[in-house]
Amino acid sequence: SQKIEQNSEALNIQEGKTATLTCNYTNYSPAYLQWYRQDPGRGPVFLLLIRENEKEKRKERLKVTFDTTLKQSLFHITASQPADSATYLCALVAAGGSYIPTFGRGTSLIVHP
């Protein structure tokens, strides 16, 4: 069956360090992968999209990599700040079908001052 796996344990890091979150998937042929941020009691907010033929995407302090061989995406936040504390969701859109994404459970990031 299709699975999207994100680390269920919270990631605790110190302010200023780089946070790295992982998204692994099985039994998918994704056309593209998205990362969203979700704050408690709020809807997700779109951050970045990376297509299957792209290796890396950057936006300000954010960087996403996509390895279709490993079936994995890494999401990096450099120079992390306490305001980056939130849950980060990855979502996959399968190739050749609906454009509707399927979401992982998300990983909670806590940045300590």
Note the residues at the interface with another protein (CB under 8 A). Answer: 4, 8, 32, 34, 36, 41-46, 49, 89, 93, 99-106
Rounded Cα distance, 109 and 105, in Å: 13
**Distance in Å, CB of 97 to another protein, minimum:** 13
Contact yes or no for 107/21 (Cβ under 8 A): yes
Nearer to another protein, 17 or 105 (CB): 105
Shortest Å, Cβ 89 to another protein: 7
In angstroms, what is the minimal distance from the CB of 86 to another protein? 14
For residues 92 and 111, which CB has a smaller minimum distance to another protein in the complex? 92
Q: Are 44 and 37 in contact (CB under 8 A)?
A: yes
The residue among 34 and 73 lying less far from another protein, judged by its C-beta, is: 34
- Whether the Cβ atoms of residue 87 and residue 106 lie closer than 8 Å to each other: yes
CA 53 to chain centre: 17
Residues in the chain: 113
